[in-house]
Structure 1
Amino acid sequence: MLNRQPKPLPPAGRAVVITGASSGLGKECAIRLGQRGFRVFAGVRTVEDGERLCAEAPSARLRPVRLDVTDEESLRAAAAEVAGSVGEQGVWGLVNNAGTCLSAPLECVPPERLRAQLDTNVVGALAVSQAFLPQLRRSRGRIVNISSGLGSMAIPYLGVYATGQFAKEGLSDALRRELRPFGVSVCVVKPGAIATPIWGKVREAGEEFLNGAPEDVAGRYRASFERFLRMNEQRAQSSTTRPEDYARTVFRALTAHRPRTRYCVGTDARAAAALSRLLPDAALDRVLGAVTKAQ
């Protein structure tokens, strides 16, 4: 007889918290999880962000919650608000989606900006997990950490972002092993390039970094970095991966009877994961050297 795969878990009645739901992939995911039956607590930075979210997707299953992943008081208040709403049932899922992306040659990045991004993308994910773990243990639920294809392979000029994604991969592995005795599972979703407003912000930040660096440093990178930005934007715009693909994968991670440890979204994310396993570092360096090659 053929082995039948266990049916996915029903989302109805299960509470999910998602961070970074004010815009982009987080907003798309919050809306679609609510449409599929989850009771969604969508983490937003401001009251206005929450109002816009509710206006765009009015639903009794979608509730905005003010949540700044870098602010301890905000986290305590959000966790208390959610706990008061879900009661003894607890929270079934936590989606650590909040994050920022910086792109620039590493020599041009002020260390304080790296610290700030790590504070949001890595430390923030741990802080939110800690705040909601009492509720996740109650439901024997799961944490979904959002990483990236760059959590498998670091690309020139995206080193700041890749640093955080590699760290989040390690954080997720350790957390998964530590929480296993309590019945809480941890998995990683790794989206590739998807067309969202984030790419305009990436260009703005990159140009700011180069303009702020000494010209004898910035000048060494300016031409190849501009070429990289154009290539990256074109890759995102031409990508066949859509925000709904990302949301669908998060839904699978939250409802799978036995969730995988990692889910890749898009052919580029899958390719990065495969190449990082199969190719030696020297071969990868040659392939990626085309990015920084002077012309």
Structure 2
Amino acid sequence: MTTSQFTGRPEAARRAVVITGASSGLGRHCALHLAGHGFRVFAGVRRAEDGERLREEATSSRLRPVILDVTDENSIRAAEAEVAEEAGAQGIWALVNNAGTCVSAPLECVPPAQLRQQLDTNVVGPLAVTQAFLPHLRRTRGRIVNVTSGLGSIASPYLGAYATGQFAKEGMTDALRRELRPLGVTVCLIQPGAIDTPIWNKVRETGNEVFGHVPRPLADLYRPTFERFLQANEARAHASRTSPEDFARGVRHALTAARPKTRYRIGTDAQAAAALSRLLPDRALDRCLSALTKR
């Protein structure tokens, strides 16, 4: 997707947007980008120090950090009340559900509690935030942008827990789009591909943590191929020509276009994953991914 495709309509600027997971990575970059383009951004962070750091980085006074933990119902209610009061009569124009975590490990090794945490952050939490802000979005006939990834199209080995959450969020987004259309709320999906952000360090840390809590024979069964997978994934991210700015422009287009797309696939790898999932039979796709698990 090229820069020229992300033009959008200027009249949506200065409207209030809530974005979750703005402490780091793509969420942080997107919050700064939207504020720089005139939106009034309420940037959800989990810790006050993250919010202060984000405020210092912002070149615009239109960015306002808000404590928002998508896995905590009390935090969600408090954030909704705070944003509603700050937004005032102008109302809340959009919600960007960006917050998420990534559990990376062979599914045989992933503890059920860790899978629940993955789904709580990436699926249940975004729905809870959406439910809290929907009354405001109906009043403004606003927009919801849900962020998944290319793994919402293809489930990669060793990212099964993460892909499970992404597939679920894709289905949730489709249902929301169809349910909310008659009520005047537009729902879009952003699928970024590999982008060089700090999440790749977290992927390795999470994988090592999982292996540290399983029996040694089981860990040894997967560890060599898992390490090769990590190296290949990190190399792909470092070599990616897709930038956080590409992602942020995609979000901005979804918030400003008169007729936004239902899905924005950011990066050639995200576009390729979607195409392959549609065109290739399962067995052929399995063969394409077999190099990741080759012993």
TM-score bucket of the superposed structures, by smaller chain: over 0.9
Q: Quick one: which amino acid aligns to residue 203 of structure 1? A: R
With normalisation by structure 1, the TM-score equals 0.96
SS at match of 2:87: helix
1:13 offset after TM fit, Å?
Answer: 2.4
1:182 offset after TM fit, Å?
Answer: 0.8
CA contact (8 A) 1:191 1:264 kept: yes
Alignment pair present for 1:44 and 2:45: yes
1:86 offset after TM fit, Å?
Answer: 1.6
1:8 offset after TM fit, Å?
Answer: 2.3
Alignment of 1:1-295 (within 5 A): 8-294=9-295
CA contact (8 A) 1:89 1:138 kept: no
* Aligned equivalents of 1:198, 1:133: Cα separation in 2: 29
* Aligned equivalents of 1:287, 1:29: Cα separation in 2: 33
1:214 offset after TM fit, Å?
Answer: 1.2
RMSD: 1.1
1:7 offset after TM fit, Å?
Answer: 6.1
* Aligned equivalents of 1:108, 1:137: Cα separation in 2: 43
* Aligned equivalents of 2:90, 2:137: Cα separation in 1: 9
Which residue does the alignment assign to 1:3?
none
Deviation by residue 1:113-160 (Cα, 9 ceiling, x = unmatched): 000010000001100100100110011001000000000000000101
SS at match of 1:64: strand
SS at match of 1:20: coil
* Aligned equivalents of 2:211, 2:74: Cα separation in 1: 35
CA contact (8 A) 1:66 1:78 kept: yes
Deviation by residue 1:34-87 (Cα, 9 ceiling, x = unmatched): 001111000011111111111111422100111110111111111111111222
* Aligned equivalents of 2:129, 2:59: Cα separation in 1: 26
1:94 offset after TM fit, Å?
Answer: 0.4
1:89 offset after TM fit, Å?
Answer: 2.6
SS at match of 2:11: coil
Unpaired segments of 5 or more residues in structure 2? Answer: 1-6
With normalisation by structure 2, the TM-score equals 0.96
1:213 offset after TM fit, Å?
Answer: 1.1
CA contact (8 A) 1:20 1:97 kept: yes
* Aligned equivalents of 2:119, 2:51: Cα separation in 1: 25
Identity %, equivalent residues: 70
Unpaired segments of 5 or more residues in structure 1? Answer: 1-5
| Count of residue pairs brought into register by the alignment | 289
1:215 offset after TM fit, Å?
Answer: 1.9
Deviation by residue 1:172-213 (Cα, 9 ceiling, x = unmatched): 000111111110011100001111111111101101212221
1:217 offset after TM fit, Å?
Answer: 1.4
CA contact (8 A) 2:36 2:59 kept: no
* Aligned equivalents of 2:93, 2:173: Cα separation in 1: 17
Q: Quick one: which amino acid aligns to residue 98 of structure 2? A: N
CA contact (8 A) 1:88 1:138 kept: no
| 4+ long deviations beyond 3 Å | none
